[in-house]
Amino acid sequence: MLHLRVITPADRTDDVVRLIERTVGTTHLVVLPGAARDPAGDVVLCDVAREAGDELLTGLQRLGLADSGSIAVENIDLSLSRRADRAEEEAPGESADAVLWEHLVEATHEESTLSVTYVAFLTLATMIAACGVVLDNAILIVGAMAVGPEFGPLAGISTAVVRPAPRLALRSLVALLVGFAAAMALTAGFSLFMDAVGLFSEGRLEADRPNTGFIYAPDWFSFVVAVLAGAAGTLSLTSAKSGALVGVAISVTTVPAAANAAVALVYGDTHQTLRSTEQLLLNLLGILLAGTLTLLAQKWFWSRQRERTRGPAV
C-alpha cells in the first residue's frame, strides 16, 4: 500500500475527494479542512493500493495540484486493516507488477545526473577493471561491474523515450557519454602511472588471458546477455526490487570493456581498443533496447488493466 498526503486549495478539495472515492483500490480517506499553511489549503490523506497508485497520481496532477498544492507519496511497510486488504483485492493486477511512472522518472532523474560522485564511481570502477584485465583477474572484473553506476543513465534514456521527457533524455545521454569519456581518460592516465611504477606492462595485456579475453571479443551472446540484463534491470526499478540491480551490473561488460579499451590505447593496441569499444557499444545498445521495450510492454499491460476496471470504477 501507498500513503498519499495531498495539499489542495479549498476550492478543489471536493474534486480531489471525488477522484479518490471513484478510484478502485483506495481507502482510509481523511480530509482536514484548512490544515495546510504553506501552501494554504486543505489536507487530504488516503491509502491506495500500489497497483492503483499511478492512475490516482495522474488524476491528481490533471487537477493541477503539483502546481497549486502538493502531492507526497510514501510506502506503507505495515498496514493492519481489513479495508486495506479489500482495497488491494479490488485493485487491478498485482502490486509487484505495478509501475509508478512518476516515481520511475524521479528515480532515473537522480541516478542519471552528471555529478562528481557519479563520475567518481564510474572512474573507480573502470580503474578496478583495468587492474583486472592486466592481471587477468575475473574477481576484479566482477567487482568493477558491481561498482559501476552506468545503469542509471541507461534507464533514464529508456524512461524518457516511453514517457516523452526530452530533458531527462538529454541529461541521461550527457551523463552516459561524458561519464564514460572522463572515466576512460582518467583510467588511461592511471595506466600510464601503473606502467611507470612497474605494475602494468604491455606483455601482461598482450598475454593469453583466459579469464578476461571475452572483454574484447564481442559476439551475439554479448548482445543477448545485455538484452536480458536490461530487461531484468528495468523490472527491478519498476517493481522496487533494487536487489536485482546487482545481478544486472555483473551481467554486462560495459565498465570492463571501457577499461580494456583505455589500457589498450595506452599501449597502442588498436585491435583490442576497437574490439573493446565495440563490446561497450554492443552492451549499451542491448540494455537500451531491452529497457525501452520492457517499459513499453508494461505501459501497454497497465493500460489494458485500467480499461478492464474503468467501468466498475466509474
* DSSP at 195: H
| Domain end call among 58, 80, 98 | 98
Which H/E stretch holds residue 71? strand 70-75
Rounded CA gap, 297 and 29, in Å? 32
- Residue 200 C-alpha cell reads as 602494468
> Domain residues for 89?
2-98
78 plus 223 within the same structural domain: no
Flag whether 93 is in a domain: yes
292 plus 169 within the same structural domain: yes
166 plus 197 within the same structural domain: yes
| Domain end call among 98, 130, 148 | 98
Average pLDDT of adjacent 10-residue blocks, the chain of 314 residues: 94 95 92 94 94 88 91 89 88 71 77 90 96 95 90 91 89 95 97 96 94 92 91 80 58 90 96 96 94 90 66 44
Flag whether 123 is in a domain: yes
120 plus 84 within the same structural domain: no
pLDDT tens digits, residue range 195-246? 999 999 999 999 999 999 999 999 999 999 999 988 988 888 887 555 555 5
187 plus 269 within the same structural domain: yes
Indicate the number of domains in the chain.
2
| Domain end call among 98, 119, 135 | 98
Flag whether 313 is in a domain: no
**Using omega within 30 degrees of 0 as the cis cutoff, is the peptide bond preceding 39 cis?**
yes
Report whether 86 contacts 27 (CB < 8 A).
yes
137 plus 94 within the same structural domain: no
Q: In 3D, which of 258, 267, 257 has the Cα closest to residue 203? A: 267
261 plus 297 within the same structural domain: yes
Flag whether 250 is in a domain: yes
